[in-house]
Every structure is written in structure tokens, then in C-alpha cells.
Amino acid sequence: MKSVPSISSQIDENKILKIINKNFSKLAPSYYKLISNWLIRAYHVFEDIDKYLIVVYLINNDFIFFRRHAIVLDFETFFKEKALEIEKINISDISKDLQIPKESVRRKVYELEKKGVIKKFKKKIFIDRTVISKYFPVNNRIITLNEVSSLLYEFNKLLKEENEISKTFEIHQITSSLKENYTFCWYQFNKFLFIFTNRWRAEVKDLETFCIGFLVMLNAADNKHFRVKDLNLKTFQKLAMSADKTGLNAMSISEITGIPRPTVVRKVKYLINNDYLTINEKKLISVDIRGSAFKRSTNLQDKNMLTLSNFIYRVFNKIKVINSN
């Protein structure tokens, strides 16, 4: 017999934020991998991250509809239908919510129609699942789900270290709970992504530029000599500048992201000129955020940790309730 979950047993959102900030270096590798890999996979679909985001935005409208009617679908059920009906499409709403210029949204939606991803019938919009499976293969969805599970698992270990929970959940329990409550959890994940990408697009002008800069940051965060350190967020931000002793060259960045090398070179130059990256005499690129760019990026990071803590608060407490019964 299931017990009624205790309201007082949920992890407070402010406490989550404090734990993230205090132990950021322990969470950083899984956090940076999740974001970087998501951006790279998004680019690979249409060679345009914003176009991918528009499709995600349309799908998320269904998640919003489900939430409005207290419906939660599991992973398998949500993806078994041949077509996904979208309530309505409004170019202005997409432009406003994703902070992409209206004419760019209109052009990208038209291109998605030409590819057959979006289909219109009278005033209804459909996303064809047979086409979606081509551009959004199941394997990619599973990879992202596993990376979210990994992030939550690492956070779950921090909760145990901080004596906020008596025992940790196994990663398979977290993955199973995400699948079981897919539309709820992925609405929260998409909400986090929309806010996160909007902030960084405004800062560096486009998400391909951000994808490149973030990959270089991941290279520093995942440095084996650096990731074992027990650092809070502020210390991590400062020490990450000198963590990467090797760097990445433009060809490596191009091969990892799929972005053409000439485009990588151009966008790296933009990030160097705007005090985000540096390049040495061997043409190796590393993080070197300076001056006003450091102040702005620190401010963005602080805001993004608030958004991340909100995502974890909503999803982890859902997992905690499920697995405690």
C-alpha cells in the first residue's frame, strides 16, 4: 500500500540553489556535457539550432496542454502516435518566447514546412512523426534523457553529502521516473532550455557561437586535473580560466560540432574579440573571459543557476515522491 507523500519531505528550491553553488565543480562535468551535447545534436538535425528549437517549442505546446488538463504521459505513449497535433501556431508568439526575430521565425517555419516536418491542414498544425523520426531519432532522445538522469544523479549524491536525504536514488530509478513522467519532466527541461538559450543568444548573438564557446568551456571543466577539486561556483568560474592547459583547435571544434571550419574560425574570432576566448601561438583555443565579459558571464551564470535549481526542484521532487512510495 502506497503512503501519502509528506509535503515537508520535499527539497526546498533555495536549498537546492545553495547546494549547487557550494558544490558546483562536482556538478559541472555532467551539467556542461548535457548542455554542450544537446546543442551539438540540435545543430546536427537542421544545421541550425534555432530551427531545432522552434520544433521543440511546438512540441512543448502539447506538454503545456497536457499540464493544463492534468495529463502526464510516459515516454513510450507520447512517441507512439504517427502525428502530433499542435493547438495553433503564432509566429509572433514563437518570436517573443524564443527571442528570435519574427522574419527569421517565419522563414525557418517555411523551411520546416518544405522539409515536411510541419504540415498545415486548414488552421491546424501537425508534426509528422514519420519525418520526426528521421530528424529526431529515438537514440538521440534516449541519450539526452540519460544525460539529464546523470545530472540529477550527481545532484542526488550531493544531497546525501549534505544530509538532506538518507539514501541516494540509483541512476536507473531516476531514468525510469523520467520516462514514466515524460511530458511533465520534459516540459520542465524545455522551459529551462528556452530560458538558458535566450540569455546566451542575447549575449553572443547566435547559438552556434555559444555552442562553440560552451564546448571550449566543457574542455576546461572536464580536465582530469581540474574536475576533482571541491570548488564553489565563484571559485570555479575564476579557476576555470587557467584549467585548460591544451585547448582545442578550430578543426577539432568543427569535427565535434559539425559546424564548418570557416564558420568556426569566424565565430571563434568573435568570441576572442569579445573577451571570451583566447588563442595561443599553436592555434589552440581556450577559455579566457575578461573584463566586462567576465562580469556579464558571471551574472548570466548566476541567473542560470537559479533556473537550473528550479528545474531540479520540480523534477527531482517528483522523482523523490515516486520512489519513496
Which pLDDT score is estimated for 284?
A: 93
Assign 6 a pLDDT band (cuts: 50, 70, 90). Answer: very low
Q: Which pLDDT score, from 0 to 100, does residue 228 have?
A: 61
Helices (H), 7-101: 13-22, 24-46, 49-68, 75-78, 91-98
What's the average model confidence in pLDDT over 215-225? 81
In this prediction, residue 321 carries a pLDDT of: 66
- What residues does 248 pair with on adjacent strands? 285
Tens digits of residue pLDDT in 114-160:
988 888 776 667 777 677 777 778 888 899 999 999 999 999 999 99
Angle at 149 between CA 45 and CA 322, to 5 degrees: 125
Share of the chain above pLDDT 90, in %: 65
Q: How confident is the model at residue 237 (pLDDT cuts 50, 70, 90)?
A: confident
User: How confident is the prediction for the chain on average, in pLDDT?
Assistant: 88
pLDDT for the residue 9:
62
The predicted structure's pLDDT at residue 83: 65
The stretch 64-89 carries a mean pLDDT of 83
Domain boundaries, the chain: 7-46+137-323
- Mean pLDDT across 217-240: 79
User: What is the per-residue pLDDT for 292?
Assistant: 95
Amino acid at 222: D
For 287, list phi and psi in degrees, rounded to 5: -75, 135
The tens digit of pLDDT for each residue in 165-205 reads 888 999 999 999 999 999 999 999 999 999 999 999 999 99
Question: Over the stretch 273-284, which tens digit does the pLDDT of each residue have?
Answer: 999 999 999 999
Which carries the bigger pLDDT value, residue 123 or residue 206? 206
* Mean pLDDT of the 201-222 span: 93
Reported pTM: 0.91
What is the SS3 assignment for 125-191? Answer: EEEEHHHHHHHCCHHHHHHHHHHHHHHHHHHHHHHHHCCCCCCCCCHHHHHHHHHHCHHHHHHHHHH
What average pLDDT does range 38-45 have in this prediction? Answer: 96
Closest by CA position to 242, among listed 256, 228, 223 = 223
> Would the pLDDT of 222 be above 90?
no
101 — alpha (psi -120 to 50), left (phi > 0) or beta? beta
Identity of residue 75: F
